[in-house]
Chain A
Amino acid sequence: MNGATSTEGPLWEVFVRSRRGLSHTHAGSLHAPDATMALRNARDLYTRRGEGVSIWVVPATAVIASSPDEKDPFFDPAADKAYRHPTFYEIPEGVKHL
């Protein structure tokens, strides 16, 4: 992500909630001079076909991302802990509501 302020103004990441009850998801990015205009530009650009009921805009520079170099220590340790998933457990046949 490039957060540089060029002649185009700072870059903003846009998150849109498509329906009440769902989370905001990343829709894309845009340029705007400030947060107020970023919200409006996001409304015009990312919801012109009725795609959203709520919008977040975040300065691209404010996004802190995990590094791909650390992906092994970050994510591999979670892969072998099958006991976190319900399918790990055997339940006698006929037992309900479990």
Chain B
Amino acid sequence: MFLTGRAADAAVALGDDALVLSHRLGEWAGHAPMLEEEVALANIALDLLGQARFLYSLAGDEDELAYLREERAFRNAQLVERPNGDFASTIARQLYFSSYQELLYTELASAEGELAPLAAKAVKEVAYHRDHAVQWTLRLGDGTAESSRRMQAALTDLWRYTGELFDPVEGLPVDTAALREPWLASVSAVVRQATLTLPDGPDRSGWTAGGGRHGIHTEAFGRMIAEMQHLHRAHPGATW
């Protein structure tokens, strides 16, 4: 009934991406820069949470996977676990990640395999997430001097987490390395239109390069899942 082996690993890795990013977006609730944006960010978070639940359900029990694994067992890319920062950081993270996810799901939808139906549905959601990120990148980049400075700083700051996205994901029937070129083209077009520049520093950092897919995360991630898991773990075996 469940996927096993590397196919299951792949579903869990993509599920982890979706869950962790959803959780981070959920942290915005009550803090968004305008009320309309409360609704928009929650919509994106809910789409991602839905994707995570579906992906986990292919590999096992969703709550066991989300709440009972240790930090080192999570396979999400480090990009999605980065703290929200200011609104520009959140938008930069969204732009980088949704552009990747859209390409990935598009490939996945046309590939053979159990993930194709999810990918076909999710690609529409993700296209909207990307549109949201694009719209805000344009407004912040080509807005005021302050917003432009913040948006540029956010793009630069998160750049070193982008390289990992194109590392292979075990068990995934997609050549992720081949996504880098179209990703770069689409992201740089947006950045250029936003009157900003694409960072030219390294797209991965030191010894943690590609860490997330191998269970090496950033310090902030440990605190994030400690908060996420503590209640569930405090009541072993309980149903909610």
Residue from the list B34, B35, B40 in contact with A40, Cβ < 8 A: B40
Residue from A31, A33, A40, A48 in contact with B132 in the complex, judged by beta carbons closer than 8 Å: A40
- Minimum C-beta distance from B50 to chain A (A): 13
A48 to B128, CA, bound (A): 13
Contact residues in B for A18 (Cβ distance below 8 Å):
none
Q: Does B157 contact A (CB under 8 A)?
A: no
Query: B135, A37: Cβ atoms under 8 Å?
Result: yes
Q: Which residues of B contact A16 (CB under 8 A)?
A: none
CB neighbours (8 Å) of B64 from chain A are none
Residues on the A chain within 8 Å of B43, using CB: 44, 48
Q: Cα distance A3–B10 when bound, in Å? A: 51
Chain B residues whose C-beta falls within 8 Å of the C-beta of A31 in the assembled complex: 34-36
Beyond A8-B34, A31-B34, A33-B139, is A40–B131 a contact (Cβ under 8 Å)? Answer: yes
How far, in angstroms, from A39 to B20 measured CA to CA in the complex? 28
A residues in contact with B34, CB < 8 Å? 8-9, 31
The yes or no answer to A87 lying at the interface (CB within 8 A) is no
Q: Please give the distance in Å from B29's CB to the nearest CB on chain A.
A: 14
Complex Cα gap A33–B35 (Å): 13
Contacts of A36 in B (CB 8 A): 135
Whether B184 is near chain A, meaning CB under 8 Å from some CB there, is no
B120-175 CB contacts (< 8 Å) to partner A: 131-132, 135, 139
A45 with B135: CB separation less than 8 A: no
Say whether B39 contacts A41, CB under 8 Å: yes
With contacts A37-B135, A40-B132, A40-B135 taken as known, whether A32 is within 8 angstroms of B39 at the C-beta atoms is: no
A84 to chain B, nearest CB (A): 44
Task: Point out the residues of chain A lying under 8 angstroms from B40, CB to CB.
Answer: 40-41, 44
Whether B139 and A45, one on each chain, are in contact in the complex, defined by CB atoms closer than 8 angstroms, is no
What sequence of 0s and 1s flags, for each residue 198-233 of chain B, a beta carbon within 8 Å of any chain A beta carbon?
A: 000000000000000000000000000000000000
- Give CA–CA (A36, B136) in the complex, Å: 11
Interface check A55, CB cutoff 8 A = no
Tell me the chain A residues, 11-47 only, with Cβ under 8 Å from chain B. Answer: 30-33, 36-37, 40-41, 44-45
Cα–Cα distance between A45 and B34 once the two chains are bound (Å): 13
Cα of A41 to Cα of B39 in the assembled complex, Å: 8
- Nearest Cβ distance between residue A14 and chain B, in whole angstroms? 11
Tell me which of A30, A37, A44, A45 has the highest count of chain B C-beta atoms within 10 A of its own C-beta: A44
Q: Which residues of B contact A40 (CB under 8 A)?
A: 40, 131-132, 135
C-alpha gap A32/B36 in the complex (Å): 8
> CA separation between A12 and B35, bound complex, in Å?
14
B90 to chain A, nearest CB (A): 16
Task: Tell me the bound Cα distance from A41 to B135 in angstroms.
Answer: 12
Residue of B nearest to A31 (CB): B36
CA distance A26 to B59 in the complex (A): 45
Which residues in A have some Cβ–Cβ distance to B below 8 Å?
8-9, 30-33, 36-37, 40-41, 44-45, 48
**5 residue pairs from A and B, CB less than 8 Å apart:** A36-B135, A37-B36, A41-B39, A44-B36, A45-B36
